[in-house]
Amino acid sequence: MNGIHDLGGMHGMGPIVREADEPAFHEEWERRAFALTLAAGFLGQWNLDMSRFAREQMDPAHYLATSYYEHWLYGLERLLVARGLLTQAEIDTRVAELRAGTAG
């Protein structure tokens, strides 16, 4: 494979800079996104390969502009919609509520 998601081994992308004592999660939403992804996996609607494939469908420019856990959230949203567990409209509505501070 040689997609945007395979940057770790690409030449010309510069060194990989590791954050000293980097925490697993930088923000609480990252912890939740990861937990939701794992929990939703137990629904049995997809497997690990499908989950990775869903994350890898992100547009390359979007992939480069987003964080690790944003990739996981993107993949989860795609899988939930593809399996009919949520609609894109439901996701968009919830995101809008969270951004507006009106989520209940």
The model's pLDDT over 44-89, given as tens digits with 9 standing for 90+, comes to: 999 999 999 999 999 989 998 999 999 999 999 999 999 999 999 9
Domains of the chain: 44-104 (1.10.472.20)
Q: What is the pLDDT of residue 87?
A: 98
pTM for this entry: 0.82
Instruction: Give the position of tokens 């949203």.
Output: 77
Cα-only R_g, the chain: 15
The model's pLDDT over 91-104, given as tens digits with 9 standing for 90+, comes to: 999 999 999 998 77
